[in-house]
Structure 1
Amino acid sequence: MKRKAMFAAAGVLFASHAFAQSSVTLSGLIDGGVSYISNQGGKSVVKFDDGIEVPNLLKIDGKEDLGGGLKAIFDLTNQFELGTGSFMPGQSLFGRNAYVGLDDQRWGRLTLGNQYDFMVDSLFFGFDDAAFYAQGVYDFRNGPFAGLALPNNPTGAFDWDRMAGERVQNSVKYLSPRFGGFSVGAMYGFGNVAGSIGAGNAQSIGINYLNGPFGANAAYTLTKTDVGGVQDSVRNWGVGAHYHIGRMVTTALFTTVRNELNGAAVWQAEIGAAYSFDSPWLVSGVYSYMKGNHVVDNNHAHQLTAELQYNFSKRTNVYVAAVYQRASAGANAQINDVMVASSSPSQFIGRIGLQTRF
C-alpha cells in the first residue's frame, strides 16, 4: 500500500511539473463531400469521399521552454477516414506524423521519428504547390504512368512526387534558422537492416528562400526499398516558387521522379493562382502537364483544376470543384486518389464538399 501511494504521489508530482513547464495543443482538419467521377474502370460513379480538400487529421503537439531560446517539441498526428472512422495510412494510430525534437532560435530544429521529407516541407508547405489552394489530393500528381511501378504504391504512380505528405520512418531531420531569407535542411532515414547501413535508407535535402511576397524552394529525396530481394531506389527532385500580389497568389512548380529499378521516369510542370475577393469567396485554378519516358510508353497528360470556395468563418468553408485530365491517345487517364483508372484517355471529377478545422 505504501509503495502504491508512493508511485501515485510521484505520478502526480511528475504530471504537475510537466504541465507547469509545457503546453500541449489538440487540433485537426476534417473534410467530407460528394464526388462524381465520369469514368472509373469504364463506369461513372457518385460517391461519398473525404480527406480531399484537406486530409482528415487529429493532431497533438506540444513544446516545453527549456530556457535560452531552446524548446523541446513533439508532434503526434493521426489521419483517419471520415466515412468509416478508421485509421490511415496503414491503419496506424500516428502514421501521419510522430516525432520528438529540439528547436533553438540560434541553431535550428532537430527532430527524430516518422516525419515528412523536404519534397513536402520545402515545396508544399513552402506554398509552391497549387494543390494547397485547389482540391488537395485530387490535384496531386498521378496519371497514365502505372509503369512507374513505385514500391508500396497503390496504383504504381499515386502521388509520384511525394507532395501529398509522404513520410520517412526512423528518420533524423535538421532545419537551419533563416539567414538573409535562406534556410537549408537535411534528413536521413535509417533502414534498420542488420549488416547493411545503406539498405532501406532514405535521404532528403531542402533549400528555401523567402523575402516578403516572394518565395522559392528546391528539394531532393532518395528512398530505398527492398523489392523481392532487390534494392530499388526512387529519386525525386523539384523546384518551385510563389508570389503574392495583393489578394492573389501565383505559384509555379516543377517536379520529377525516377525509379532506378526499371528506369521509368516522369516529370511535370504546373502553374496556378488563387484570388481572395473582398468577401468570403475564394477562387483558384491550376494547369499541369505531365510527361513520362519510354518505359511508361512516353505517355503524357494535361490536367485542369478549378475551385470556388465560400468561407463561413476562418475555420469552416464549403466549396465546389472540378478536375479534368486528358491523357495521350491510347493511354488511360487517372486523377490522383481515384484508385481505378479511366477506360479512356479522359477522366473528370466534380465535387461539392465541406471542411472545417479546430
Structure 2
Amino acid sequence: MKKLVLSGLSLAVLGGAGAAHAQSTVTLYGLIDAGITYTSNQGGAHNVQETSGAVNGSRWGLRGSEDLGGGLKAIFTLENGFSVATGKLGQNGLEFGRQAFVGLSSDQYGAVTLGRQYDSVVDYLAPLALTGTGSGGTQAAHPFDNDNLDNSFRINNSIKYSSVNYGGFKFGTLYGFSNDAGGFATNRAYSAGASYNYGPLNVAAGYLELNKAGTSYNSSGAVTSDATFTAGTQRTYGAGLNYAFGPAKVGFVFTQTHLYNASSIGASASGTSSGLTLTGGGASFTNYEVNGRYNITPAWSLSAAYTFTDAHLDGVSPKYNQFSLQTAYALSKRTDVYLMGVYQHVSDTGDSGITADINGLSTSSTDSQVAATIGIRHRF
C-alpha cells in the first residue's frame, strides 16, 4: 500500500485550515484481480472469456484518519470498484460504489460511521465462509449470493457502530435510512453481528433485514438496484465457526434467507444474464457450507468448500450442490497467481426453468455448470 503522511502544517498549507498539532494519514490501496475463465455452459454453449474479480472484486480506495487527541480519531474510506477487463465502474457505475463513509473512532468506545457501508453479516460472518475471503471469492458464493456473504450489495444512507475488541469479542450494528419523508420504513435496512476469537477458535453470527427492498420502493433509500432480490422484505441470518490447527483451518457456516412478496432474483448482483421471475409469494434459501484451508508452504495455499442449498421458490424446492477448489501461489507479498474451479448441480426443479447458475457468470441452460479460472491478483 502507498501511504501519504501529512503533518498539521502540511494540512494547513493544502487545506487552508487545521490544528498544527493534528497528525493525519491517507492511505492509497487497491487490489486488481484478472483471469481467464472457462465455463462449460453459458446459455447453451461453452465459453472462454477474460474476467475481472473472479475471486476478489477489483478496487482502489483511499483510507484516512486524523488524530483528534485523547484516543479519538476522525476516519474515512472511499473505495471504488471497477472491471480491469473493460475499465468500467462497478456497482452500477457508482464512483465509490464499494464503500464511502466518514466518522469518528475511539480507542475506548469503538467507531461510528455514516455513508455507504457493508452490513453486519458481511462484517462478522462472511470472513468464516470461503466466498467472503480471498480463498474462494465471487464464484464460490452461495447460489445468487442469496445471503450476501460475497457483499453483492451495500447499504446506502447508513449509520454503523463497530465496537472495540473486548478480549476477542467484537460486535456491531447498522441502520440504513429510507430517506423518504412519507415512508420511514420504505426501503430501509438494519443489521447486527458479533464475533468471538479464542486462540484457534473463531465464531460469528449476523442478521440483516431489508424492508421494501424492491416493490414500489423509494429508489434513494437504503438499498438500490444492486440488491439481489426484488422483494417486500428480506431477512437473512446465520452463524459459523472456524478452527485452526497448525497450517490448516476448517469451518462450517449456516445461513438462511427468507423473502416475502418476492417478484424476482436480480441479474445485477449475481452477475447472471437472465435473472429469475417469481410470482410474488414467499421464497427461501437455506445454506450449509463446510470449508477448509491449508498452507502447503508459506507461499502456496489450498482451499476447498462444499455448499448444500435447500431453496423454496414458486412451488418448487430446488436443491443446489456446489463444490469449489482453489490453489494460490504468492510470487511476493503483494502478487499471487491462482487456479480455481467451481462445480454446481441443481435438482428437483420441476418445470420452473431453474438451471445451474454459478455466481458472477451467465446461467447454464442445463442443471449443471462448471467453471475454471486461472488468474493473477496484485495488491497495492
The offset of 1:47, in angstroms, is 0.3
* Cα distance between partner residues in 1 of 2:15 and 2:160: 33
- Unpaired runs of 5+ residues, structure 1, are 1-8, 143-157
Identity of aligned residues (%): 36
Q: In the TM superposition, what whole-angstrom CA distance separates every residue of 1:308-328 from its partner, at most 9, and x where no partner exists?
A: 111101111111111100110
Residue 366 of structure 2 corresponds to which residue in structure 1?
Answer: 344
- Unpaired runs of 5+ residues, structure 2, are 1-10, 218-230, 262-280
Deviates more, 1:16-25 or 1:326-335: 16-25
Q: Choose the corresponding residue for 1:272, options 282, 291, 316.
A: 291
Give the secondary structure class of the aligned counterpart of 1:293: strand
Residue 92 of structure 2 corresponds to which residue in structure 1?
Answer: 90
The offset of 1:354, in angstroms, is 0.5
Q: Choose the corresponding residue for 2:183, options 189, 196, 211.
A: 196
Q: In the TM superposition, what whole-angstrom CA distance separates every residue of 1:53-89 from its partner, at most 9, and x where no partner exists?
A: 2110101010111111111100000000101111111
TM-score (norm 1): 0.88
Is 1:334 aligned to residue 357 of structure 2?
yes
| Equivalent pair of 1:305/1:323 in contact (CA under 8 Å) | yes
| Equivalent pair of 1:34/1:353 in contact (CA under 8 Å) | yes
* Cα distance between partner residues in 1 of 2:257 and 2:98: 22
The offset of 1:206, in angstroms, is 0.5
Q: In the TM superposition, what whole-angstrom CA distance separates every residue of 1:141-179 from its partner, at most 9, and x where no partner exists?
A: 11xxxxxxxxxxxxxxx3211111231100000012222
Give the secondary structure class of the aligned counterpart of 2:125: helix
Residue 146 of structure 1 corresponds to which residue in structure 2?
Answer: none
Residue 161 of structure 1 corresponds to which residue in structure 2?
Answer: 147
Q: 1:320 to 1:19 in 2, by over 3 A?
A: farther
Is 1:254 aligned to residue 273 of structure 2?
no
The offset of 1:10, in angstroms, is 7.6
Residue 334 of structure 2 corresponds to which residue in structure 1?
Answer: 315
The offset of 1:20, in angstroms, is 5.7
**Structure with higher RCO (Cα < 8 A, 6+ apart):** 1
Is 1:301 aligned to residue 320 of structure 2?
yes
Q: 1:55 to 1:222 in 2, by over 3 A?
A: same
The offset of 1:194, in angstroms, is 1.2
The offset of 1:329, in angstroms, is 4.6
Q: In the TM superposition, what whole-angstrom CA distance separates every residue of 1:213-232 from its partner, at most 9, and x where no partner exists?
A: 21111000001236453771
* Cα distance between partner residues in 2 of 1:314 and 1:212: 25
Q: 1:90 to 1:12 in 2, by over 3 A?
A: same
The offset of 1:120, in angstroms, is 0.4
Q: Choose the corresponding residue for 1:28, options 30, 40, 56.
A: 30
Deviates more, 1:128-137 or 1:91-100: 128-137
The offset of 1:117, in angstroms, is 0.2
Amino acid corresponding to residue 332 of structure 1 in structure 2: T
| Equivalent pair of 1:66/1:72 in contact (CA under 8 Å) | yes
* Cα distance between partner residues in 2 of 1:247 and 1:189: 39
Deviates more, 1:310-319 or 1:132-141: 132-141
Residue 59 of structure 2 corresponds to which residue in structure 1?
Answer: 57
State the aligned residue count. 332
| Equivalent pair of 1:265/1:295 in contact (CA under 8 Å) | no
Name the Cα RMSD after superposition: 2.0
TM-score (norm 2): 0.83
Residue 5 of structure 1 corresponds to which residue in structure 2?
Answer: none
* Cα distance between partner residues in 2 of 1:252 and 1:76: 32
Q: In the TM superposition, what whole-angstrom CA distance separates every residue of 1:223-248 from its partner, at most 9, and x where no partner exists?
A: 12364537711111010111111111
The offset of 1:342, in angstroms, is 1.1
| Equivalent pair of 2:22/2:68 in contact (CA under 8 Å) | no
Q: 1:239 to 1:18 in 2, by over 3 A?
A: farther
